[in-house]
Chains A and B, each alone.
Chain A
Amino acid sequence: MRRKLILFPALVFILFTLTSCWNYREVNEMAIVIGAALDKGLTNNYMLTVELLDVSDGKETQVSTKVLSIEGETVFDAVRKLISIGGKRGYWGHIRVLVISEEIAGENITQVIRFFRQDAEARSDLYIIIAKGCSAKEILHANKTIGRDISTSLAQSLENSQFLSESPPTTLYILSQELKSEISPTLPVVTLLTSEDKTIPIISGAAVFQKTKLAGYLNGDETKAMLFIKNEIKGGVMVTKKDPALISLEILRNNTKIKTQTDGDRITVDITVETKAAIDEVTCNVEFSNLVIFDDIQSLSEAQLKDKLENVIDKARNLRADIFGFGQKIYENDPKKWDEIKDNYEEEFTNIKVNIAVKVEIVNTSFIYKQFE
């Protein structure tokens, strides 16, 4: 009995010590990676650039960032080789953004993002951005604007993009979902703007993928139109021209419905856009208290929005990338038809008949409509 009494706690204790000690690590023994960039390497397959938090010890501890680059045969190979430069092992649990160069995206984007999906540390809510017109490395080396580091400000600008709607904030999770389904993914684009010997990264527009390959770009306005069709508009500004005035409408709510109809060989897609907006800015006096003029503004903005939507659909057709997910809708509504056209969908996409109905409802106006003479 006594032996059992001693043995039991001893066994339990041993059990505890053997389980998960391997996971123990102190915060100050790891290098926190907050952003990464991937380019084609010069001597090896990939060049990994990481932005690390650098905590300098002293009377007052200060946090700054360091950007390091290393080449590797695979992404993970480069990740581990970082130890040889930084000393500490990188910690990927808090990575916010991953910038991928045009070159890699042009080949196949899945070759690099597989690591981030598979590894235990990296998060699925990691933002993926395509660097346009420069290498991905240069983005992390760019000058800081606001805040401590480039990666956080990039991530923040994507988080807040719902008030702008000029780029599609895409996380690793959404990207991999889209790659699995019939939608061609779109990723936000970052470019470098040089002004007064400073280079500043700017996020605007979208990179369009034909499945896994980069096919082309959309500018900010086109991206907004695309988001309208994808029903991903949460806010933003819609500028309506009413000569000579420019009227800024703030988008309050938007609801887009896509319906597909298959009639023999003909496929029709009906897009209904219902937007509620508020007049926020008028560049010169417009008497929108007058109902005729008010209705005029509504119909003008409807027509102009419809133009934009048609424009972006045409552009997508040219790139042969179904970024709106029409294919997915067809598959959901009529799986048999989808099986027929699946193999030739890229061609089919350009021939789909698209009907667009736009309804803009101005629910709110600024009360002051006659500001200055």
Chain B
Amino acid sequence: MQKRKRERRTVRKIIRIGEKTESKETVKSGSKLTKSLEENIKILEDKFKNDGTVIFRRFQNRYLPKAKCCIVFIEGMIDFKHINRQIIEPIMEQDLTNLSLSFNLLEDIKEKVLPVNDVEESGDLEKILQSICYGNTAFLIDGHDTALLVESKGWEIRAITEPESGKVFRGPREGFTEHIISNISLIRRRIKNPNLKFKFLQLGKQTNTTVCITYIEGVALESVLVELEQRLNRIDIDGILDSGYIQELIEDSPLSTFPTIGYTERPDVVVARMLEGRIAVIVDGSPFVLTVPHIFIENIQVSEDYYDHFIFGSFNRFLRTTASIATISIPAVYLALVTYHQEMIPTQLLITLSASLEGVPLPTSLSLIIMLIIFDVLREAGARMPSAVGQTVNIVGTLVLGQAAVEAQLVSAPVIIITAISGITTLVLPTLIESVVLLRLFLLVLSSFMGLYGYFIGIILIFLHLMSIRSFGVPYMMSITRFKDHDGQDSWIRAPWWSMTLRPKIIGAKNLIRQISRHNRR
């Protein structure tokens, strides 16, 4: 008890110290620039102390030497050519003597000299510092206590390539990159409509990450938008490195392994979801864009379903749903049948099983659990491995674990087969891997204690959980359990486009009509 009290006390102390340092910073942030250029440079140099990437470039106008200027920028965040041609060159070369007669030289430079699209005048030191950090250039001139913040962003970005996740045979091959502006343009290019809205905010006290909420006005639900903004504003973390941070911070049921916020690397998927009434969150530095609300069936929907013929798309979706059930059930059901319900196995199969289990030292339940864990280890190793070493994993996995284990009779052949089937079916649903791997073991343990009875208890528990969770007010299992009206059009099957005249319920409730077909006109 005493130990715990002591811990609490230290935590309180740390918080108090944190508050103090914070309050000091807020006092400083209000400070302003002075009229002297040298003093201003000193202030900025002081602020950027121990940062070698900040460059201070002093220069003068050819015709007006008394107009001493300085630009401040950060190397690596700016476009050199742009700064040379659009900022330094005009100010150095143009005759500023006429301008110097005017009352406000800085205003004139902004309006008459700098051929740059985005220039802002500011005297707030904090704002200037932040602007420099974003890749803008601060232009200072002697005799003025304000600075011009000139747009000069430019850094190396990854080219738009086909995303590694969610590859398609037919469909667009563009994928999001880490650059938020290019990601926004990928969305904008698909929805050429003034109703497409982008709301920006900064999250992360240290990283100042740009986050963008995007939606189609008149299609997206306002209540979801308000709730999303509230949740985002509540975030008080120091840094955001990937959209995964935000996903975890604003999720409805954070303890559930099922994702209640969707993520994708594909712009076409984001746009399709936005057209159904969803809202997307783009995070700078992450190629994964979040979409809300996210319901269970989205894990089974694949963009290609909508591009292929609807019958083939429905068939593929059927395969995926069966695979999702099979992957968590197969090991558990096999174990239950072999160790509890031998009556349910056909005689011939039982004989075969009995023959292959003869002489295997481990009990079936243990060998299944071990093999499944080994499979997951292989999967994990394969995912992190450089592709050159990946071959080794393959060989070790197939030869050593598969063949050798059976030949040495450490595990029985059916166990290997079951593991393989279960493993392959896991990969059919990439977004559900996190849930599947854990639920499979959960069901396996249950059925090793209680046979099929335990398996069904587990399935009931999983379904109760799935039925109980919501994503931004939308029931997670929506359109899986109900087939009224147009509920089932895009769940177990993918209805043809000419029949999907309405948007999904609840999510698309704001503007339900997707297309006016003959059916609707009547």
Which among B7-15, B184-192, B351-359 touches the partner chain?
B351-359
Is B256 in the interface zone, CB < 8 Å from A?
no
Chain B residues near A20 (CB-CB < 8 A): 340, 449-451, 453
Contacting pair A32 B364 (CB below 8 A): no
Q: Whole-angstrom distance between the alpha carbons of A93 and B351 in the complex?
A: 12
Q: Which residues 146-179 of A have a CB within 8 angstroms of B?
A: 152
Q: A46 CA to B350 CA in the complex, in Å? A: 29
Q: Which residues of A contact B338 (CB under 8 A)?
A: 26-27
Across the interface, do B454 and A32 meet the contact criterion of CB distance under 8 Å? no
Mark contacts of B329-364 with chain A using CB atoms, 8 A cut-off: 1 yes-contact digit, 0 otherwise: 000000000111011000100110111111110011
A17: nearest chain-B partner, CB-CB: B449
Give the secondary structure class of A's interface: mixed
Complex interface: chain A residues within 8 A of B450 (CB): 16, 19-20
Q: How far apart are B337's CB and chain A's nearest CB, in angstroms?
A: 9
Q: Are A94 and B453 in touch, CB under 8 angstroms? A: no
Check B446 for interface membership: any CB of A closer than 8 A: yes
Q: Which residues between 49 and 92 of chain A lie within 8 Å of chain B, taking CB atoms?
A: 53, 55-57, 61-63, 91
Q: Which of B342, B449, B451 contacts A27 (CB 8 A)?
A: B342
Q: Name the residue on B nearest A24 (C-beta).
A: B339
Are B347 and A21 closer than 8 Å at their CB atoms? no
Interface flag for A123 (CB, 8 Å):
yes
Q: Quick one: given A16-B454, A20-B453, A94-B347, are A28 and B342 in contact (CB under 8 Å)?
A: no
Q: Is there contact, CB below 8 Å, between B449 and A55?
A: no
Contact call B340/A27, Cβ cutoff below 8 A: no
**B358 close to A61 (CB less than 8 A):** yes
Interface of B is mostly: helix
Q: Which residue of B lies closest to A29 (CB)?
A: B357
Tell whether, in the assembled complex, residue B353 and residue A123 are in contact, meaning their CB atoms are under 8 Å apart: no
Chain B residues in 8 Å Cβ range of A24: 339-340, 451
Closest A residue by C-beta to B357: A28
User: Assuming the A-B contacts A27-B342, A91-B342, A121-B343, are A55 and B354 also in contact, with contact meaning beta carbons closer than 8 angstroms in the complex?
Assistant: yes
Tell me whether A61 and B355 are in contact (CB under 8 A): yes
A93 touches B342 (CB 8 A): yes
| Cβ contacts B445-474/A at 8 Å (1 or 0 each) | 010011101100000000000000000000
Q: A53-B351, A61-B358 are in contact. Are A93 and B343 (CB under 8 A)?
A: yes
A242 to chain B, nearest CB (A): 45
Kindly identify which residue among A17, A34, A61, A121 contacts B356, using a CB–CB cutoff of 8 Å: A61
Q: Report whether A55 and B358 are in contact in the complex, using a CB–CB cutoff of 8 Å.
A: yes
State in angstroms the CA–CA spacing of A32 and B353 once bound together.
Answer: 12
Tell me which residues from 194 to 238 in chain B have a Cβ below 8 Å from any Cβ of chain A: none
Q: How far is the CA of A96 from the CA of B348 in the complex (A)?
A: 12
A344 near B: Cβ within 8 Å? no
Alpha-carbon separation in the docked complex, A25 to B342 (Å): 9
**Interface residue from B343, B355, B446 paired with A123 (Cβ < 8 Å):** B343
CA distance A16 to B450 in the complex (A): 7
**Which residues of B351-404 are within 8 A (CB) of A?**
351, 353-360, 363-364
Interface residue ranges, B against A (CB under 8 Å): 338-340, 342-343, 347, 350-351, 353-360, 363-364, 446, 449-451, 453-454
8 contacts between A and B (CB under 8 A): A16-B449, A26-B364, A27-B354, A55-B355, A62-B355, A63-B355, A93-B342, A94-B343
